[in-house]
């Protein structure tokens, strides 16, 4: 079945780095745009980064633009999120999610992982 499984979260100190992974299965990963969405404890959803199906173009929300890097390895069906200079406000559950529409993206996000938790604390 169609599945996304995130990993790489944990408890980390401020200023350090972390790489999150999202392993996709059950669909042709290389034909879909992908996204990272985070949710701070008790808060709403925030789209933080998106990437085209072929990895050629990335988008970031303004608040993370210089610290987050989204990438993908279509040969391994894995999406990544590199987070540098972690701050307390990055504490959240990080979800990866698939664009509903093939190739062009859009249509909302129709497949979500269960999320991986990042806690930034000294």
Interacting residues toward other proteins by CB under 8 A: 35, 37, 44-50, 59-62, 95, 97, 100, 105-110, 112-115
Q: Which is nearer to other proteins, 29 or 35 (CB)?
A: 35
Compare residues 56 and 62 and give the one whose CB is closer to other proteins. 62
Nearest distance in Å: CB 86, other proteins: 20
Supply the minimum distance, in Å, between the C-beta of residue 34 and other proteins: 11
Q: At a CB cut-off of 8 Å and minimum separation 6, what does 110 contact?
A: 98, 99, 100
Residue 60 C-beta-side C-alpha neighbours within 13 Å: 13
- How many residues belong to the chain? 122
Residue whose CB is less far from other proteins, 7 or 16: 7
């Amino acid at each position: 079945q169609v599945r996304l499984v995130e990993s790489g979260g944990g408890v980390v100190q401020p200023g350090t780095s972390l790489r999150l992974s999202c392993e996709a299965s059950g669909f042709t990963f290389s034909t879909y745009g992908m996204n990272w969405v985070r949710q701070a404890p008790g808060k709403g959803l925030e789209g933080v980064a998106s990437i085209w199906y072929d990895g050629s173009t990335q988008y970031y929300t303004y608040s993370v633009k210089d610290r987050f890097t989204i990438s993908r390895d279509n040969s391994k069906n894995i999406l990544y999120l590199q987070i540098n200079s972690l701050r307390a406000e990055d504490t959240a559950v990080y979800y990866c999610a698939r664009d509903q529409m093939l190739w062009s993206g859009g249509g909302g996000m129709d497949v979500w992982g269960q999320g991986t938790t990042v806690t930034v604390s000294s």
